[in-house]
């Protein structure tokens, strides 16, 4: 099975981003401009992103983690309030809740969609619950009509974690525009990247202004202008804020990534369909079909390796893929598997059976617009070899 002749010559890096000459040129021109910090390019990027999403306000930050943290702070909840989210997410979702002085509560996912199950959310609502953070897993939109209904009924805020969902839509409406806030990531492996970076969409002007201020040390509005061509301006610290602003160097990349967003989305969809076809006759479980009247973001192509059916366990499968020089990811070992959360909250994987099974069976295959046709065929071959088909 591990025939060295047939393995890919060069290691295929998982989630390697597609960076064009436009990004490179823009970064160079920003570097030469004398203004590399938060400035006009960030403002232009925010405006592009805002228009693309059809939102009233967009604030660029240095990560999605920062976006989640500031969104939760902007809700001004009583410390110790409970926030319900999914066990099948990146640790940053939970850490942001903790850093905002709030208590994370998990509601299990649906096994086939891998998204938080609205029925499980309702079961976890207590008198202390104040917010829900749905994560649009892999780019598949959560059932936002049911989630918004629950939020209304129980008077809860919704903050959407859209780290996988830049291009996703639910019933015609952009993900990130349902909740009070929508938080996006431009980390290297995401659908679009600025190296590191994030964005928060806000529905209200006062929320947007509050977040902008908190993101830059808690200094009074537009502090970034203080060294601009209108001459030095005094600033006043009005809150103890954070250092979460995006730089023009990052926005220079983001502007051109946005220009290629739809083209890259189409390419990923093409690869997605190719994977679906190729894996239809083998025993791996492929992603659930996108739901009607939604647009999938095609961020992650995840397969499930059930040892009983595939004759190989997930971790052995990963080893074999690595041997074939194909980089893969795991999204995610469910959060209750991690010692810190077990210690801190007493979480146990058995209490979230769907998320824990997924976490133990799942593998994400390369799905970047950068993949060549040859790369895609090599990934398919690697999967077939690795399960011994």
Least distance between ligand PLP and beta carbon 86 (Å): 9
Judge whether 351 and 35 are in contact, CB under 8 Å. Answer: no
Least distance between ligand PLP and beta carbon 365 (Å): 16
Contact between 380 and ligand PLP by CB under 6 A: the answer reads: no
Contact between 148 and ligand PLP by CB under 6 A: the answer reads: no
Stretch that binds ligand PLP, among 87-95, 151-159, 228-236, 241-249 (CB under 6 A): 87-95
Stretch that binds ligand PLP, among 89-97, 270-278, 359-367, 381-389 (CB under 6 A): 89-97
Coil/strand/helix, residue 219: strand
Please tell me the number of Cα atoms within 13 Å of 202 on its side-chain side: 22
> Which strands form 173-174's sheet, in the order they lie side by side?
173-174, 169-170, 294-295
Contact between 185 and ligand PLP by CB under 6 A: the answer reads: yes
User: Has 190 been annotated as catalytic?
Assistant: yes
What single-letter DSSP state applies at residue 170? E
Contact between 192 and ligand PLP by CB under 6 A: the answer reads: no
Contact between 356 and ligand PLP by CB under 6 A: the answer reads: no
Contact between 135 and ligand PLP by CB under 6 A: the answer reads: yes
Q: Which C-beta is closer to ligand PLP: that of 90 or that of 352?
A: 90
Q: Which C-beta is closer to ligand PLP: that of 89 or that of 113?
A: 89
Q: Which of 42, 59, 64, 253 binds ligand PLP (CB under 6 A)?
A: 64
List C-alpha distances in Å: 14 to 8, 95, 323, 356. Answer: 14, 25, 14, 23
Q: Which of 27, 73, 74, 92 binds ligand PLP (CB under 6 A)?
A: 92
Judge whether 314 and 356 are in contact, CB under 8 Å. Answer: no
Least distance between ligand PLP and beta carbon 332 (Å): 8
**Catalytic residue, candidates 171, 190, 233, 381:** 190
Q: Which C-beta is closer to ligand PLP: that of 117 or that of 378?
A: 117
Contact between 65 and ligand PLP by CB under 6 A: the answer reads: yes
Q: Which of 198, 254, 359, 366 binds ligand PLP (CB under 6 A)?
A: 198
Contact between 90 and ligand PLP by CB under 6 A: the answer reads: yes
Distance of alpha carbon 264 from alpha carbon 56, whole angstroms: 25
Which candidate, 178, 217, 183, 181, places its Cα nearest to that of 197? 183
Query: In sequence order, what are the residues at sequence separation of 6 or more whose Cβ sits closer than 8 angstroms to the Cβ of residue 370?
Result: 16, 17, 18
Contact between 161 and ligand PLP by CB under 6 A: the answer reads: yes
Strand partners, 106: 85
The DSSP string of 293-313 is TEE-----EEEE--HHHHSS-
Judge whether 133 and 97 are in contact, CB under 8 Å. Answer: yes
**Positions in the binding site for ligand PLP (CB under 6 A):** 63-65, 89-90, 92-93, 135, 161, 163-164, 185, 187, 198
Active site residues: 190
């Amino acid at each position: 099975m591990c025939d060295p002749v047939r393995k890919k010559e060069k290691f295929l890096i998982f989630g390697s981003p597609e960076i064009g000459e436009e990004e490179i040129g823009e970064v160079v021109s920003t570097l030469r401009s004398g203004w590399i910090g938060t400035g006009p390019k960030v403002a232009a990027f925010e405006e592009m992103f805002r228009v693309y999403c059809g939102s009233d306000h967009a604030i660029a930050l240095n990560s999605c983690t920062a976006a989640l943290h500031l969104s939760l702070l902007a809700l001004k909840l009583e410390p110790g309030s409970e926030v319900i989210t999914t066990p099948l997410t990146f640790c940053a979702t939970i850490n942001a809740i903790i850093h905002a002085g709030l208590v994370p509560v998990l509601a299990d996912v649906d096994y086939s969609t891998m998204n938080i199950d609205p029925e499980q959310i309702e079961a976890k609502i207590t008198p202390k619950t104040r917010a829900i953070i749905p994560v649009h897993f892999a780019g598949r939109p959560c059932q936002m009509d049911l989630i918004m209904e629950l939020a209304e009924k129980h008077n809860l805020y919704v903050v959407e974690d859209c780290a996988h969902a830049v291009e996703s839509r639910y019933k015609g409406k952009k993900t990130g525009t349902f909740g009070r806030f929508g938080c996006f990531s431009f980390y290297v492996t995401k659908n679009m990247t600025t190296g590191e970076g994030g964005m928060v969409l806000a529905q209200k002007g006062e929320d947007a202004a509050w977040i902008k201020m908190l993101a830059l040390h808690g200094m009074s509005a537009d502090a970034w202008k203080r060294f601009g061509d209108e001459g030095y301006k005094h600033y006043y610290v009005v809150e103890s804020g954070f250092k979460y602003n995006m730089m023009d160097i990052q926005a220079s990349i983001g502007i051109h990534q946005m220009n290629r967003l739809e083209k890259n989305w189409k390419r990923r969809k093409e690869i997605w369909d190719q994977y679906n076809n190729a894996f239809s006759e083998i025993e791996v479980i492929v992603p659930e079909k996108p739901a009607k009247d939604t647009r999938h973001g095609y961020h992650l192509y995840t397969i499930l390796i059930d040892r009983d059916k595939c004759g190989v366990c997930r971790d052995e499968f990963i080893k074999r893929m690595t041997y074939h020089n194909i980089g893969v990811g795991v999204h995610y070992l469910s959060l209750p598997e991690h010692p810190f959360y077990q210690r801190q909250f007493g979480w146990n994987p058995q209490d979230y059976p769907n998320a824990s099974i997924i976490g133990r069976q799942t593998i994400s295959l390369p799905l970047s617009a950068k993949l060549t046709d040859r790369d895609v065929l090599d990934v398919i071959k690697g999967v077939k070899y690795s399960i011994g088909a």
